[in-house]
Amino acid sequence: MNQYSLKDVKTPKILFFSNIIILFVFLMPIGYLVYRFINFSRSYTSFFNSWNVLDLLGNTFFLFLTVVVLSLIIGLAVSIITVRFDIYRPKIFFTLSVLPLVIPSYIGALTYVSAFSPKGLFVQIFSIFGVSEISGIEGFFGSCVVLTLFTYPYVVLICSSALRNLDSTVEDAARSLGKNKFQIYTQVVIPRLKKPIIFSSLLVGLYVISDFGAVSLMRYSTLTKAIYSYYELKIDGDPVIFYSSLLIVMALLISFVQRGTELSNSSKISGTPRIPERSQLRLKSKFFVYLFLTVVIILGLILPISVLSYWLVRGLMSGNSVRAVFGGVVGSLSTSLIAAIFSVIIATPIIIMVAQYKSKFGNFLERIMLALYGLPHIAVGVSILFITIKIFPGIYQSFTALIVSYLIVFLPQAIGAGQASMEQVKFSYLDASNGLGNSKFQTFYKITLPLIYRGLFAGGALVFLSTMKELPQTLLLRPTGLNTMAVDIWSYASEGLFTQAAFSSFILLAISAIPTYILSTRNLTK
Amino acid sequence: MNKRSTALFMACLLIFSACGSAGEQGLQGERGEKGEAGEVSQAAIEAAVDAALAEEKAEVGGSLVIYSGRKESLVSDVITAFAEETGVSVEVRYAKSAALAGTIALEGAISPADVFLSQDPVSLGIVAKEGLFDVLPQNILDNVPKWAVDQRGYWVGTSGRSRALVVDTRDVMDSELPKDIYGLNDEKFRGRLGLAPTNSSFIAMVSCMIEQDGEEKVAEWLTAINDLGYTEYPKNSPQVAAADAGELDIGMINHYYTLRTLAENGDSPIKNVFLDSGCGAMVMPAGAGILSSSQNKTAAMAFIEYLHSNSAQEHFTNTVFEFPLVAGVTPNELLPSIDTLNSPEDLNWSALALWQEKAVELIAKAGF
């Protein structure tokens, strides 16, 4: 596609070395876990005998599988309805169904646990209908409900934009062969969405296995919950290292399987793509479609927001004062902003290296960064904790160590967003610029940067959002005295101070809404 | 090529200098030089400024990093009052006692902490076992009864608390209740029990049980309790709230949360039950010790002395509803007399600390 290739141009040394350093820092957490893993003083079988490893692995895997399937079903249904069917104001329904993405799973879980507790809001409201007792929502079921509700928007975001660009000629052909609407979707449309489906299930799957807040609040024993429990009991226990290693292996396996399936390309259809008309719905199906959308939006968005509002209003009316949350806000904003800025600064040389210098090292770097996408936060946090104590005590419990840990987990998001925009930078532009006598830096400044800065900005916004919501790494690594809103909410909730938790949650959601809005106005998959 | 390289080099420099200024030593921080961690030195500068500003009222000055295993809502008032009275600038890291003990053990000489304030003696014993505490002066140890200090003087008690059961009197009759903790292993309690398996005091109780009754009996009991079906809580206080709300019949807790609820609402249908014997009736001190690696020992000592002051002891008994340990401070009227409690006698706290790891393992093994 590109007329010119810079294949033969040598990678500038400084680019090479800065990327080597970045790579080294990024591989350090895994390296340390591997080092500890092979140096265990006890035998591996002793873990299986005394630490419930099989149960935890089974629970984690089962949850992963169930949530991925449920999210795909809900997410695909919402995508198809909002893109292909003639419903009232599809954009509003689309936006409302994507919004639960802003709610961190631990806030979502908190509201569900409380609303459906034996004497919670649900029973109070429905007592007029004779509901007097419910058994509460927790464990596997509770974790599934909450994680599905807060991850299906990933599927909607990714699959709906693919669906919008899907050529409908094949569907027309299928229709002419006598297939009905349902068959067309199951046999033609969904199979052709294979790539976005696999990609979104990867996102959901990685989210589920590294989620810590929801499973803890739902009291469902997964690897992440076990890691934190052991950390709270005895930090230097080998189990913390052992479980973290298992969790990382699981995440890498999931990524690996996903990349494997991506290689088999779906067949391309030649001819002019045709975007289909929205199909009309019969009255009866219309009823079910609206009912479905309403239930999803109520469960994912309205219920959690209502519970938070209820806590806040009830607390304030009964005279609970809302303590100043200034420290948490400052902590969250400063960590998130700095993580976002550094992610962009560090991502830029990597993106340039991978896109413009097709060297072996560039390819290697790209693969590593892809593989590192979605490393479980708590496992990275544990590893950085040990590394800073044992190897770099100078930055132990420092802001630096915390930011490095955030970056290791979130940098791939910035790289992904930047890489997409890099496609606009044609080699011919660079060549022309060189021909005009511009130096490489001038070319970067005048040609590349103006073309990719939007992508980089989107990447920074993603990292900002992720850092705002981040809990386990902050709990493990924060400097003494630094609070974030996520940590505040977590500790208020565990002390039962719900008014306070609700107040902080609202501020967190309000601030998160800004980058989410910016991101949702762009097409992220391009 | 050169200009571009320079720019990228500058970018990298920027990254590392930023890392350096935040962490004092950058990524290549030299190991093992205690007290040079970025946070401490920065705090020291701030403290110096604060001390200079507040000179007329400052008696002690300097800075202090406290690792507190006691909840913020229980101790932050005392810590704030100490900071105001002495002019010491204090930073507190709140987490669970066991987690902080493990953290200090792992940090060793590089620990940023000056004082470890723990909710239970077992966590203190772990730090003592690692040899990371200074021996406290005799006059401080003599402030409190003998049972509430470490035998070697590495830490001192600051307040007393008893293990207890919180009981919802609407659903539980006195005649049902067991004599000791092993009595909870009974079909009639199926699905009615609550506990906080990662709570440091619960682990301390299990350590005590191993010490007194042997590993096998404790493992059996834990498995049996798990089989009976229990409700897991992250801490003690939500068990009391659950019992108050009618969601939980019997919770294994420390005594003071119940009293706190009763003080706020005299009509609450919950009450404490103190068992007749064994580790379920254990009375233990919350306490504090000074880290050997501390660079701020004067301020640390002043803090421990402050915890023994009348105003702090009165706070512990009248606001937190714990047993005061310093002679001359009257226990809150809601408290039973400490002499009526049936704690095992002469518990050796450092021996219990040796069982902590085994306790954690048994709790995990039983499937909690």
Give DSSP secondary structure letters for B167-199.
EETTT--GGG--SSGGGG-SGGGTTTEEE-TT-
- Provide the CATH number for the domain around residue A373: 1.10.3720.10
Quick: pLDDT tens for B251-290. 999 999 899 888 888 888 999 999 999 999 999 999 999 9
Interchain proximity B39–A232, CB inside 8 Å:
no
Highest mean pLDDT range out of A166-170, A359-363, A505-509?
A: A505-509
Chain A interface includes B107 (CB < 8 A): yes
At A293, phi and psi to the nearest 5?
A: -60, -40
Q: What is residue A51's predicted lDDT score, i.e. its pLDDT?
A: 64
Q: What is residue A415's predicted lDDT score, i.e. its pLDDT?
A: 86
Q: Which of B2, B39, B93, B236 to mutate to test the interface with A (most CBs of A within 10 A)?
A: B39
Q: What is residue B43's predicted lDDT score, i.e. its pLDDT?
A: 56
Is the predicted pLDDT of residue B51 greater than 60, yes or no? no
Sign of the alpha-carbon dihedral angle for A425, A428, A434, A436: negative
Among A48-62, A381-395, B26-40, B170-184, whose mean pLDDT is lowest? B26-40
Number of domains in chain A: 2
Separation of alpha carbons B30 and A393, rounded Å: 7
Which residues in chain A have their CB less than 8 angstroms from residue B26's CB? Answer: 394-395
Which residues in chain B have their CB less than 8 angstroms from residue A403's CB? Answer: 22
- Band (pLDDT 50/70/90 cuts) for residue B168 is very high
Separation of alpha carbons A325 and B140, rounded Å: 37
- Does residue A89 share a domain with residue A112? yes
Is the predicted pLDDT of residue B95 greater than 60, yes or no? yes
Q: Cβ contacts of residue A177 below 8 Å, gap of 6+?
A: none
Q: Which of A220, A235, A448 to mutate to test the interface with B (most CBs of B within 10 A)?
A: A235
Separation of alpha carbons B185 and B178, rounded Å: 9
Chain A interface includes B28 (CB < 8 A): yes
* Percent of chain B with pLDDT strictly greater than 90: 62
Which residue range(s) make up the domain with A368? 1-32+321-526
The mean pLDDT value for A507-514 works out to: 88
Interchain proximity A439–B72, CB inside 8 Å:
no
Interchain proximity A232–B98, CB inside 8 Å:
yes
Burial code (b: 16+ CB inside 10 Å, e: under 16) for A215-241 equals: bbbbbbbbbbbbbbbbbbbbbebbbbb
Chain B interface includes A439 (CB < 8 A): yes
Give A16 to chain B, closest Cα distance, Å.
Answer: 10
Sign of the alpha-carbon dihedral angle for B204, A390, B33, B50: negative
Q: Which tops the pLDDT comparison, B359 or A257? A: B359
- Band (pLDDT 50/70/90 cuts) for residue B17 is very low
Interchain proximity A400–B19, CB inside 8 Å:
yes
The residue among A128, A106, A74 whose CA lies nearest residue A297 is A74
- Does residue A198 share a domain with residue A119? yes
CA torsion A183-A203-A414-A161 (nearest 10°) is 20
Separation of alpha carbons A159 and A138, rounded Å: 30
Which residues in chain A have their CB less than 8 angstroms from residue B246's CB? Answer: 118-119
Cβ atoms of A55 and A480 closer than 8 Å: no
Q: Which tops the pLDDT comparison, A484 or B28? A: A484
Judge if ipTM > 0.95.
no
- Does residue A326 share a domain with residue A294? no
Interchain proximity A14–B25, CB inside 8 Å:
no
At B193, phi and psi to the nearest 5?
A: -100, 150
Quick: pLDDT tens for A103-119. 999 999 989 988 887 76
Q: What is residue B14's predicted lDDT score, i.e. its pLDDT?
A: 38
- Does residue A169 share a domain with residue A25? no
Give A234 to chain B, closest Cα distance, Å.
Answer: 5
Q: What is residue A522's predicted lDDT score, i.e. its pLDDT?
A: 60
The 10 Å Cβ neighbour count of residue A279 is 10
3-state secondary structure of B231: strand
Cβ atoms of A434 and A443 closer than 8 Å: yes
Q: What is residue B266's predicted lDDT score, i.e. its pLDDT?
A: 83
Task: Among A441, A442, A495, select the one facing B71 at the smallest CB separation.
Answer: A495
Sign of the alpha-carbon dihedral angle for A398, A206, A101, A465: positive
- Does residue A188 share a domain with residue A73? yes
Residues 179-218 of A with CB under 8 A from B: 216
Task: Among A237, A349, A481, select the one facing B8 at the smallest CB separation.
Answer: A349
- Band (pLDDT 50/70/90 cuts) for residue A256 is confident
- Does residue A368 share a domain with residue A224? no
The mean pLDDT value for A31-48 works out to: 79
Residue B291 DSSP label = B
Quick: pLDDT tens for A482-505. 989 999 998 888 777 788 888 899
Cβ atoms of A191 and A222 closer than 8 Å: no
Task: Among A13, A393, A481, select the one facing B37 at the smallest CB separation.
Answer: A393
Q: What is residue B42's predicted lDDT score, i.e. its pLDDT?
A: 57
Radius of gyration of chain A measured on its C-alpha atoms: 24
Interchain proximity A396–B107, CB inside 8 Å:
yes
Among A95-109, A209-223, A261-275, B189-203, whose mean pLDDT is lowest? A261-275
Highest mean pLDDT range out of A257-266, A275-284, A335-344, A389-398?
A: A335-344
- Does residue A260 share a domain with residue A343? no
Q: What is residue A470's predicted lDDT score, i.e. its pLDDT?
A: 92
At A510, phi and psi to the nearest 5?
A: -65, -45
- Does residue A127 share a domain with residue A110? yes
The mean pLDDT value for A381-385 works out to: 92
Among A80-89, A235-244, B28-37, B61-70, whose mean pLDDT is lowest? B28-37
Quick: pLDDT tens for A53-63. 888 899 999 99
Q: What is residue B366's predicted lDDT score, i.e. its pLDDT?
A: 79
Is the predicted pLDDT of residue B15 greater than 50, yes or no? no
Quick: pLDDT tens for A141-162. 999 999 999 999 989 988 888 8
Bridge-partner residues for B160, per DSSP?
B285, B323
Per-chain mean pLDDT for chain A: 83
Is the predicted pLDDT of residue B19 greater than 50, yes or no? no
Bridge-partner residues for B254, per DSSP?
B163
Interchain proximity B106–A404, CB inside 8 Å:
no
3-state secondary structure of A208: helix
- Does residue A345 share a domain with residue A298? no
Separation of alpha carbons A521 and A516, rounded Å: 9
For tokens 């990298």, what's the residue?
A: B12
Is the predicted pLDDT of residue B300 greater than 50, yes or no? yes
Q: Which tops the pLDDT comparison, A54 or A334? A: A334
Which runs of consecutive H residues, i.e. helices, occur in A85-192? 90-98, 105-115, 121-126, 139-164, 169-176, 181-184, 190-192
Interchain proximity A396–B98, CB inside 8 Å:
no
The pTM score is 0.82
Chain A interface includes B229 (CB < 8 A): no
Q: What is residue A263's predicted lDDT score, i.e. its pLDDT?
A: 54
- Does residue A331 share a domain with residue A307? no
- Does residue A291 share a domain with residue A235? yes
Which residues in chain A have their CB less than 8 angstroms from residue B230's CB? Answer: none
Highest mean pLDDT range out of A272-286, B35-49, B51-65?
A: A272-286
Sign of the alpha-carbon dihedral angle for A407, A408, A412, A415: positive
- Does residue A14 share a domain with residue A107? no
Q: What is residue A119's predicted lDDT score, i.e. its pLDDT?
A: 67
- Band (pLDDT 50/70/90 cuts) for residue B318 is very high
